[in-house]
Amino acid sequence: MIIKNKKAILLGFISTITASLIFATSANAESAESSSSQQTSKLQAYLKFTKIVQIIEDQYVDDINASDIINNALKGMLSNLDAHSSFMDAKETKELQVQTHGEFGGLGITVGMKDGALTVIAPLEGTPADRAGIKAGDIILKINDLATMGMTIDKAVSIMRGKPNTSIELMIVREGENKPLKIKIIRDIIEIQSVYSKTIGDDILYLRVTSFDKKVVEGIKKALKAHPERTGIILDLRNNPGGLLDQAIGTVDLFVDKGAIVSQKGKVAEENVVYNATAQGTNTNTPLVVLVNGGSASASEIVSGALQDHKRAVVVGKKTFGKGSVQVVMPISQDEALRLTIARYYLPSGRTIQAVGVTPDIEVAYGEIKKAEEGISIKEKDLQKHLESELEKVDGVREKKNKTIDKTHITEEQIYKDAQLKSAIDILKALMITNNI
């Protein structure tokens, strides 16, 4: 009986090995066949491309060389991947170097592709575009006489740049307008203040970040240090088109002491990175409200989304732009380069920003809040002064007063002209009361 069992076990063991070998051989054969099929398909695609290039070179009505054909094909190939990937020829590569290292005249706007249209993400405050009245969400139909349909972002940016004190005309479509608008803008050297602070009442600190340049984290730290008595903070990221990733991470790190801030995920394992918060120098107690709108993009979305996911701030305003991808510039020759999307950003909860944006906790449209007019209510001791003032008006006498405007403080009049800011203040005051209970 024992001998029979041993034979049965031995036969079963041999059968299992045989079956495993057959399965492995079959799997390997299928894998090899699949790999071979993929290689064949890739080779056929390359041959098709080469054949078409040859046909165009031989039979197209105008003379065109293979190099131009391939460059144009590469431009089309990259532009069809997404709005941010592109092939840059020698001229475009040189323009990128000027953009990164040189001095040039510009308009002060950040643009992106939205639903296939060249769209203003945001005008930077105090720049020519801002002064001319360009708004976030404006769609650019023409730059001078050139239609933007089918134009790449790089091409549009290169046309809008130029020598300082030269003019350019943009034809734009704006929501609420019956017909396109023509706006003339004078180029200038773009210099912006990325961070400035103001006070609201006796207890709220207002921080405006216009773009995430290399000075943002240091600027916010200085503002916080200069106003230690403030018990509530409003961080205004409206019309902030983004900037440096490390500054966005550093900003969140000022208010969050642990956990992920943002992660970066791509096809190549080396591009998968998680950026975490640190506890040192973190303010986790002061109530915080973040203002965003359709002009808030990229780094602004990382900051607002991360603070929202950590439940560290209440986000107020309108849905953000939705730019959450990572591009790198790869040189492919001495004077040509490839800009390629290699990864996407993900917020702490795992949600993506790309083409989705950040939805505020409380949505508030931009606009003015009308205050109810108050009737005349005069105390007896003020009656004489009031009557004298009214008589001066009747007699045409102007009262001369040297009023000094405090630019470091936001007035009640300014608050009522900005419905989003007014809502942020009301929400923050409620958080401050709750925080003190």
pLDDT tens figures, 131-142: 999 999 999 999
Does residue 224 lie within any of the structural domains?
Answer: yes
pLDDT > 80? residue 101:
no
d(CA 82, CA 435): 45
What pLDDT does 193 receive?
A: 83
Average pLDDT over residues 270-281: 95
The continuous run of DSSP H or E covering 198 comes out as: strand 195-200
Does residue 337 lie within any of the structural domains?
Answer: yes
Instruction: Label residue 27 by pLDDT band (50, 70, 90).
Output: low
Q: Model confidence over 199-233: pLDDT tens digits?
A: 999 999 999 999 999 999 999 999 999 999 999 99
Among left, alpha and beta (phi > 0; psi -120 to 50; other), residue 216 is alpha
| Amino acid of residue 138 | D
Q: Strand 260-266 and strand 273-276: pairing?
A: antiparallel
pLDDT > 80? residue 24:
no
> Do 303 and 327 belong to one domain?
yes
Closest among 256, 291, 307, 227 to 426, alpha carbons compared: 291
Task: Please count the structural domains in the chain.
Answer: 2
Find the helix packing angle between 245-253 and 299-309, rounded to 10°. Answer: 30
d(CA 246, CA 343): 16
Burial class (CB in 10 A: 0-12, 13-18, 19+), 235: buried
Instruction: Label residue 234 by pLDDT band (50, 70, 90).
Output: very high
Angle at 404 between CA 400 and CA 408, to 5 degrees: 160
Instruction: Label residue 147 by pLDDT band (50, 70, 90).
Output: very high
DSSP class of residue 350? S
Q: If you average pLDDT over every residue of the chain, what do you get?
A: 86
Distances, alpha carbon 122 to alpha carbons 28, 133, 240, 294, 342, in Å = 55, 11, 7, 8, 25
> Do 215 and 340 belong to one domain?
yes
Distances, alpha carbon 305 to alpha carbons 132, 144, 310, 422, in Å = 31, 37, 9, 21
Q: Among the three residues 162, 189, 216, which one is the final residue of a domain in this structure?
A: 189
Q: Percentage of the chain surpassing pLDDT 90?
A: 63
User: Scanning the structure block, which residue is given the tokens 């990164």?
Assistant: 100
**135 noted as active-site residue:** no
> Do 185 and 282 belong to one domain?
no
> Do 201 and 142 belong to one domain?
no
pLDDT higher at 102 or 339: 339
> Do 184 and 260 belong to one domain?
no
d(CA 282, CA 219): 15
pTM of this structure? 0.76
Please give the structure tokens belonging to residue 386. Answer: 């009031």
DSSP class of residue 292? E
What pLDDT does 388 receive?
A: 65
**41 noted as active-site residue:** no
> Do 170 and 295 belong to one domain?
no
Q: Which letter, b or e, does each residue of 29-50 get, where b requires 16 or more Cβ atoms within 10 Å of its Cβ?
A: eeeeeeeeeeeeeeeeeeeeee
Closest among 258, 255, 245, 240 to 345, alpha carbons compared: 245
Q: Among the three residues 332, 363, 394, which one is the final residue of a domain in this structure?
A: 363
Least confident of 4-8, 48-52, 134-138, 329-333: 4-8
**51 noted as active-site residue:** no
Please give the structure tokens belonging to residue 55. Answer: 């046909």
> Do 212 and 154 belong to one domain?
no
Average pLDDT over residues 279-304: 96
Does residue 434 lie within any of the structural domains?
Answer: no
Does residue 237 lie within any of the structural domains?
Answer: yes
- Full domain range(s) for residue 130: 102-189
> Do 200 and 243 belong to one domain?
yes
pLDDT > 80? residue 238:
yes
Q: What string of DSSP letters covers 335-395? A: S-EEEEEEEEEE-TTS-B-TTT----SEE-----PPPPPPPP---HHHHHHHHHHHHHHHT
> Do 206 and 177 belong to one domain?
no
DSSP class of residue 137? T
Instruction: Label residue 103 by pLDDT band (50, 70, 90).
Output: low
pLDDT > 70? residue 19:
no
Does residue 372 lie within any of the structural domains?
Answer: no
The CATH number of residue 318's host domain is 3.90.226.10
pLDDT higher at 271 or 221: 221
Contact 353, 323 (CB under 8 A): yes
Q: How far apart are the first and last CA of the chain?
A: 81
Contact 292, 304 (CB under 8 A): yes
Active-site position among 323, 422, 423, 429 = 323
Does residue 151 lie within any of the structural domains?
Answer: yes
Instruction: Label residue 404 by pLDDT band (50, 70, 90).
Output: low
3-state secondary structure (DSSP) of residue 346: strand
Active-site position among 79, 86, 211, 298 = 298
Contact 148, 142 (CB under 8 A): yes
Does residue 279 lie within any of the structural domains?
Answer: yes
Q: Among the three residues 363, 390, 421, which one is the final residue of a domain in this structure?
A: 363
Residues in contact with 303: Cβ distance below 8 Å, sequence separation at least 6, in sequence order = 235, 237, 248, 251, 252, 290
| Amino acid of residue 211 | S
Q: Model confidence over 356-384: pLDDT tens digits?
A: 999 999 999 988 888 765 555 555 555 66
Please give the structure tokens belonging to residue 61. Answer: 């009505």
Contact 318, 282 (CB under 8 A): no
Instruction: Label residue 185 by pLDDT band (50, 70, 90).
Output: very high
What pLDDT does 314 receive?
A: 98
3-state secondary structure (DSSP) of residue 273: strand
The CATH number of residue 164's host domain is 2.30.42.10
pLDDT > 70? residue 151:
yes
pLDDT higher at 111 or 400: 111
> Do 352 and 226 belong to one domain?
yes
Cα-to-chain-centroid distance, residue 77: 25
Active-site position among 304, 309, 318, 423 = 309
> Do 183 and 210 belong to one domain?
no
> Do 268 and 306 belong to one domain?
yes
Does residue 335 lie within any of the structural domains?
Answer: yes
